[in-house]
A and B are shown apart, each in its own frame.
Chain A
């Protein structure tokens, strides 16, 4: 009589599980794929190791002596001479860190800038916490109005007993962030008005809005920056001190407004006609109709694109270098012209590129997230 004997389960063939299977399925599934994989690996082999050598393995990290728990670490901080030129000299960035972040902002006052940075981070956290809070829109409104004003007073000073710091002393990453945020905040309402103007039935308003938007979008930002920097002062009478930063901000705001206007217009066009008709039917006037019915919906649809457009603006802020503002990119040249640290452009360049990349990458991730969130909101 046959006795049932439990047999050990047969293992799946090695080709169907584990790392081997994964490699086969994803990297070596066909002759073409084998070739592509090998080519890609070779390309990585050629590019990555020299880069890592320059940045890490051969690089100099002598930031100076420091003690921790009573132990002494490190040696004397490297200088331009002891660093050599074959690999990165990171002590240079360490030494010039404040230049890259604050520019010429007086070093005994940078705590004011730090407070603004801290406030921004805090608000970001709070904004995430109150996402489901009933009155969140009030909170956001207060934040959007309150934070820039508070930051402005803190950074510029001149009131409440704070020492004034002139805009010529602003620089580095701080300036980049200021230009981007001021550009975004101020151009937004202008953009909304232009979008409404372009959708308006009033011929004159429609005409000028359209001309403005199309003209600005047709020319490169740099021509507008040049205009602002060379021609704008001529439009005003002499004796008016027209600050350089202000000129750049005017140019960037006017530029960005046209792009925001197009994004918002996209949102406006997506609103069903029924909404307009319903608003008219219950007797709302133009302002009420737009403020209460149309814009809240249109802006909500536009949020992902508004963030996308803001990212572009953030990238474009680097152009202020060309009209002579001392943003983070301009600091590369400035710091490498210190007679004690001459010729260190590459290090500064790499540092600035990485910083900008981190900012832009996190912003673009955030916008992707928003896109998902808002697109689910609108699917039935």
Chain B
């Protein structure tokens, strides 16, 4: 209904100049939901289960922001986007934030009118080959056919890497993630290249996961994180610190089960909004972080639930472990 009214209004008025510029937070609170751009189906990152409920670590960032701003982690409108349309959707205001395994690069950050609000998964482009080929390094891949997904940084990274190492290859480009894997699994190409996380999840979708090996070379840095429109600093802070809250919670050891436990750790009490007034600075109610952890969980919970070793995808924490555990996951302090 609302759409119809909006379109009627749009058709009549939009051709003459008028513009509504409200803060994103106010829009979100007025709408009662966060419009979050996600992938059209990437196992463990964002995909829908049988009842149409979205799950995944990218999805959890959206849910955290909804919990922070509206007090309800389910108040998210998920907008599935292809790689091609994701930035346009954010720029045009179709979505409030983008959490769609998007790599943070200077071009995207500086030239598209967008801001990356942090990193929720440190990835890197890797290669997977059939074990039977007996290859153990990516430098032996000369002459191979490589399966790539179109419209991603992977395509450009591969071209750069091959050029600098004098390696010749043929590329087999597909539009979707699923088709890329299907191509590889069927033997259309020798090598599958995508973000290493993707390789692990794709491996589980093959006929026999044990027949495939992921090569040790990582040819690029792919920090994946949520993105917002430029020019709304308050909203930028909310998204950034919602993510930071999840990471800090893991660091302090607060889980969704232990949010109500009152301790004498001042940082923990500050994080849970039981002391201090940091919530005023971001313009939210004092229980915003409490809602995130209670309803979505801390970073570790989200990771283990969606892509951790106990799931079919089975990714180890690796570089995504906390900085205190040998990884590079690091949140600025809540102070």
Contact = CB atoms under 8 A, between A and B. Distances in A.
Contacts of A106: 52
B18 to A, nearest CB: 6
Contact of A242 (B18, B79, B94): B94
Contact of B1 (A85, A156, A230): A156
Given A230-B88, A237-B18, A242-B94, A159 B41 contact: no
A229 B85 contact: yes
Interface in A73-100: 85, 95-96, 98-99
Interface stretch (A19-27, A127-135, A163-171, A212-220): A163-171
Nearest to A245: B3
- How many residues of B sit at the interface, in one of the four size bands? 35 or more
Interface in B1-49: 1-4, 6-7, 10, 14-15, 17-21, 35, 40-44, 47-49
B52 A105 contact: yes
A342 B312 contact: yes
B178 interface: yes
B178 A345 contact: yes
B141 interface: no
Interface string A163-197: 01011110100000000000000000000000000
A153 interface: yes
A166 B312 CA distance: 32
Given A164-B1, A230-B88, A338-B43, A333 B20 contact: no
A107 B47 contact: no
Contact of B52 (A103, A153, A159, A233): A103
Given A96-B50, A242-B92, A338-B50, A324 B81 contact: yes
Contact of A324 (B18, B82, B306): B82
B255 to A, nearest CB: 22
A167 B3 contact: yes
Interface stretch (B129-137, B201-209, B242-250, B284-292): B201-209
A339 B43 contact: yes
B301 to A, nearest CB: 16
Contacts of B223: none
A326 interface: yes
Interface in A231-280: 233, 236-246
A378 to B, nearest CB: 40
A295 interface: no
A237 B14 contact: yes
B220 interface: no
B17 A237 contact: yes
A308 interface: no
B40 A324 contact: yes
Given A95-B50, A238-B19, A342 B2 contact: no
A172 to B, nearest CB: 9
Contacts, number: 147
Interface string A147-162: 0000011001111000
Given A164-B2, A337-B47, A339-B44, A241 B18 contact: no
A99 B312 contact: no
A120 interface: no
B324 interface: no
Interface residues of A, number: 54
Given A104-B52, A241-B94, A246-B7, A343 B19 contact: no
A330 interface: yes
Contact of A336 (B7, B77, B93, B205): B205
A314 interface: no
Contact of B51 (A107, A158, A333, A339): A107
Contacts of A98: 50-52
B2 A334 contact: no
B36 to A, nearest CB: 10
A340 interface: yes
Interface string B210-232: 00000000000000000000000
B2 A158 contact: yes
Given A95-B50, A233-B92, A236-B14, A333 B41 contact: yes
B84 to A, nearest CB: 8
B321 to A, nearest CB: 21
Contact of B10 (A159, A242, A326, A332): A242
Interface string A320-334: 001110100010111
Contacts of B19: 237-239
Contact of A238 (B50, B80, B89, B93): B93
Contacts of A337: 41-43, 47, 177-178
Contacts of A157: 1
Contacts of A246: 3, 7
Interface in A54-90: 85
A236 B85 contact: no
Given A238-B93, A246-B7, A99 B50 contact: yes
Contacts of B178: 332-333, 336-337, 345
Given A339-B43, A339-B44, A345-B182, A244 B50 contact: no
5 closest cross-chain pairs (CB), A and B? A158-B1, A343-B205, A337-B41, A236-B14, A239-B20
Given A326-B40, A342-B201, 5 more contacts: A105-B52, A233-B94, A239-B18, A241-B6, A342-B205
Interface of A: 85, 95-96, 98-99, 102-107, 152-153, 156-159, 164, 166-169, 171, 229-230, 233, 236-246, 322-324, 326, 330, 332-340, 342-343, 345
